[in-house]
Structure 1
Amino acid sequence: MASEQQDAVEMPAIGRSRHLVDDILAKADIQINGERPWDLQVHREAALDEIVARHSLGLGETYMRGDWDVQAIDQFFHRLLMAGINSNVKNWRYSWRVLRSYMMNLQSKNRSYDVGEQHYDLGNEFYTSMLDSRLTYSCGYWKEAETLDEAQEAKLDLICRKLELKPGMRLLDIGCGWGSLIGYAAQKYQVECVGVTISREQRAYVAERYAELPITVHLQDYRELKEPFDRIASVGMFEHVGRKNYRTFMEMAERCLSKDGLMLLHTIGNNHRNAYTDLWTEKYIFPGGELPSPGQLGDAADRLLVGEDLHNFGYYYDKTLMAWHENFEQNWPHFADRYGQRFYRMWRYYLLSYAGAFRGRTLQLWQVLYSKFRADGATRLS
């Protein structure tokens, strides 16, 4: 009886022929035109052929066009990734993407402003409606928090405590976003702050919001930094650096860090060093984005910086993304005429697919605390 029920579950809906996508999704217990929240509802049958031919790019673009829907996209992706379908279904495009990242510097100075213009300059009003009150666009720390604001403030304070900030210190924030960390550090820990960003919108926002605090923000590529600082932080920026530039980033940090300084690196990461950037994400969300592995971080810091502490709380990114999605849906009517339905579907797909990825631990979130390497063998504790 159980076998008959299972056979019935796997049959395609009446009126359509079984497709290769049926077989692929069945491995993740996902049905086409099923009744569960994670089941895929097809509106245009030809979209299935495009998904097979173009994989993740086809999946995302057919969703953006409205060719299919899923009630709970986060659950859909969680099931796909837990079943390992992303590892088994690849084509030449992914092999070429990995090879290209080794051969070319996809995050050169000439390209460094692309992501700012495409993603971060969408408008401060849009991000204000989605993020917390400080506009913190990175994973919150939900250990004792109940709201998004509480989780983000807890994360900011965690960073400040790990950096052992004291009044009068100079803090550099590489990729400062809308200034949540430097604003918090200047207010709560009385430090002088310098931020660098590749987004004109973000720089203008920080200048206006924190005009009364000792904060300076430069529209600048991190590779140009040469000033000395007591402490350095980089929160959610390293994902845009790229493997060709990991060593350059660490060399910059070593150059700018005082003798007894500390740097905290907060970054999304991959479980292995030859992982590729999802093609849909690279095209529509984060051009030039690339996630590091633990080994790549170690190689980049070798004999420059000493890893003092590693903290993984990637499981909190699921909750953070779901909170952003809730705010996005609630406030979308204010932006619908400005951005349109295609953007709505793109952004919903982005937030919920990443929530599913973090839920399945396919992606990680690390905070790594570094001190400056001492050739004489001395340490911060000696």
Structure 2
Amino acid sequence: MTNSRLRKYTENLLQHADVVIDGDRPWDIQVKNKNLYRRVFMQGSLGFGEAYMDGWWDSESLDELISRLVKAQLDDRFKSIALMMTTLKAKLFNRQSAKRAYQVGEKHYDIGNDLYANMLDSKMIYSCGYWKEAQTLDEAQRDKLELTCKKLHLEKGQRVLDIGCGWGGSARYMAENYGVEVVGITISSEQAALAKENCRHLPIEILVKDYREMQGCFDRIVSIGMFEHVGYKNYRTYFKTIEKLLQDDGLFLLHTIGTNSPSEHTDPWIDRYIFPNGMLPSAQQVSSAFEDYFILEDWHNFGPDYDKTLLSWHKNFNNAWPEIKENYDDRFRRMWSYYLLASAGSFRARKNQLWQIVLSKQGLTDGYHFPR
């Protein structure tokens, strides 16, 4: 099929999303290379994302463009060989095995603390903020941490395990504001080094460990923005591990991105460039994995708040680019912008959700009283 015929076919598809090629609205797509259509038809979302990185197309409002494409389900119309290979690998291998656990740390979290320090809030919280009353990113992350602590019913002297502790922001908040002792674990050596510095002189221990390597007993366990790296073949192992580490009267809070239907893989572009071996769980996959181990106390969805969080990160990233660009090239800039804005569009279209789930081992005698 010629480029002109491929363009015509693409134009007809884009009508369902009210998107025009070379149109004058912010969400319209500006095509810079006529070979874009063939690349997308051959490679699907991987080719679409790589073409943006290569400067083959642009959009003034990339986040709104992606939101419209997702709402019109056009992302499902391009099933590429890359997607089939990603699906096959997920079926044949345990892509989130203990041996592979540290790959995402090296690929994503170790790329530079300067990037994250400039992009995130002052506490360096790399997960969805809570925007119910917040006006700024700092307020949204503070409110999210406060909401998390209240849901955990934290009390002074408790011992808390923070699985996926990042740069130590959540551990520090819990220790400073609730007087608890925290053990934080991460699979990123760069995160651990900065987390130790951020948590000096507090009752906090930071370890470079996979969750499957942990031993001990904790009054509370929290996992914020880490479950996306666990993988469906390990969900039962994950919850079984949590159950063994948690006191009988303890609480566990899981904060994770979720998706609307079960899957076994992630988007090929995300897998190659952002989160290798990652995948988003469905509600069914999560609930079936913790059955027999836990009682569900609370399930809270504030997915639309991730749209605002991602746009705040992108604004900070753009503002900081002149300061950090010596450590990265322009292709990285376009890649990172695509990651943040495409993710924002996906949450805006409600394809992705953000869940906070509270679980207990035996059920609270007087019931669970939850804040919002």
Q: TM-score, normalised by structure 2?
A: 0.95
Task: For residues 117-143 of structure 1, give each alpha carbon's deviation from its aligned partner in whole angstroms, at most 9, with x where no partner exists.
Answer: 111112112111000000000000000
Greater alpha carbon shift after TM alignment, 29-38 vs 279-288: 29-38
2:29 matched to 1:24? no
Most deviating of 268-277 and 47-56 = 268-277
Alignment of 1:35-114 (within 5 A): 35-114=24-103
Greater shift, 81-90 or 93-102, is seen at 93-102
Structure-2 residue corresponding to 1:284 = 273
Q: Once the 2 structures are TM-superposed, how far is the Cα of residue 27 of structure 1 from its aligned partner?
A: 1.8
Distance (Å, rounded) in 1 between the aligned partners of 2:154 and 2:187: 25
In 2, the alpha carbon distance for the partners of 1:235 and 1:91 equals 32
Q: Deviations over 1:52-95 (max 9, x none)?
A: 11010000001101111111100100100111112233245434
CA distance, structure 1, for counterparts of residue 249 and residue 57 of structure 2: 55
What residue number does 1:181 align with? 170
Q: Which moved more, 1:254-263 or 1:203-212?
A: 203-212
Residue 370 of structure 2: aligned partner: none
Compare 124-133 and 21-30 and name the one that shifted more. Answer: 21-30
Secondary structure in 1 aligned to 2:329? helix
1:161-176 alignment to 2 at 5 Å? 161-176=150-165
Which residue type is aligned with residue 155 of structure 2? Answer: K
Matched-pair contact (CA < 8 Å) for 1:21–1:52 = no
Match of 2:23 in 1: 34
Structure 1 residue 201, shift from structure 2 partner: 0.9
Q: For 1:206 and 1:298, how far apart are their aligned partners in 2?
A: 32
- 1:331 corresponds to 2:320: yes
Equivalent residue, structure 2, for 1:381: 366
Match of 1:11 in 2: none
> What is the match of residue 354 of structure 1?
343
Match of 1:141 among 105, 109, 130: 130
Unpaired runs of 5+ residues, structure 1, are 1-14
Counterpart pick for 2:104 among 115, 125, 134: 115
Match of 1:245 among 234, 251, 268: 234
Residue 17 of structure 2: SS of its match in structure 1? Answer: coil
Specify the alignment match of 1:8 in structure 2.
none
Q: For 1:337 and 1:16, locate their aligned partners in 2 and report how far apart those are by CA, in whole Å.
A: 42
Shift of 1:103: 2.8
Q: Which of 182, 186, 189 is the matching residue for 1:197? A: 186
Asked if structure 1 preserves the Cα contact closer than 8 Å seen for 2:43 and 2:81, the reply is no
Amino acid at match of 2:35: A
Q: Distance in 2 between matches of 1:16 and 1:69?
A: 21
C-alpha separation between the residues in 2 aligned to 1:343 and 1:93? 21
Aligned pair count? Answer: 364
SS in structure 2 at match of 1:318: helix
Offset of 1:163 from its aligned partner? 0.4
**Aligned-residue CA RMSD in angstroms?**
1.5
Q: CA offsets, 1:185-224, max 9 Å, x none?
A: 0000000000000111111111111111000011001001
Match of 1:264 in 2: 253
Matched, 1:313 2:313: no
Q: Which runs of 4+ in 1 moved over 6 A?
A: none
The aligned residue for residue 12 of structure 1 is none
* C-alpha deviation, 1:19, in angstroms: 3.4
TM-score of the superposition, structure 1-length normalised?
0.92
- Partner amino acid, structure 2, of 1:233: V
Hey, what does 1:156 align to over in structure 2? 145
Deviation, 1:300, is 0.9
Partners of 2:265 and 2:278 within 8 A in 1? no
Shift of 1:44: 1.0
Which deviations, in whole Å up to 9, do the C-alpha atoms of 1:18-73 show, x marking residues without a partner? 43322222221111111111111111111221011101000000110111111110
